[in-house]
Amino acid sequence: MKRLSVLLLVLFLLPGFSSALAATKPKPSPKENYPTEPGLHKDLAFTNAGQQRTFNLFIPSSYSKRGGKGMSLLFLLHGAGMDADEMSKNSMVEVAEAEGFITVIPD
């Protein structure tokens, strides 16, 4: 009888507990309006954990011809004191154009 009481108590409390958990989930941030036209777009930004992050975005000319189909994405990370502008001069942007993939270059 004790097991049945515990089971009924758990079944009674479980829906309220799960809805309380759902209410505490963080809400997604609104979508940013980033460029979708081909080319190199500099000094774009987003906010994460209260800190603004900047990046450059390269979209190849073949992007507009894909008709909504997916496209590969490369995050081009830098080091050694470089920044996004210096990395944007890298030959990888030329490769991204030739091979048809989007490149994100964070600062």
Task: Tell me, yes or no, whether 16 lies in a domain.
Answer: no
Residue 77 lies in a domain: yes
Beta carbons within 8 Å of 49's beta carbon, 6+ residues apart: none
Full residue range of the structural domain in which residue 96 is found = 39-106
Nearest to 76 by CA among 34, 107, 41: 107
State the average pLDDT over residues 20-46.
70
Tell me the three state secondary structure of residue 101: coil
- Whether 25 is covered by a domain: the verdict is no
Of 24-28, 58-62, 73-77, least confident by mean pLDDT is 24-28
Whether 14 is covered by a domain: the verdict is no
- Per the structure, how many domains does the chain have? 1
pTM of the model: 0.64
Closest CA relative to residue 32, chosen from 17, 14, 52:
52
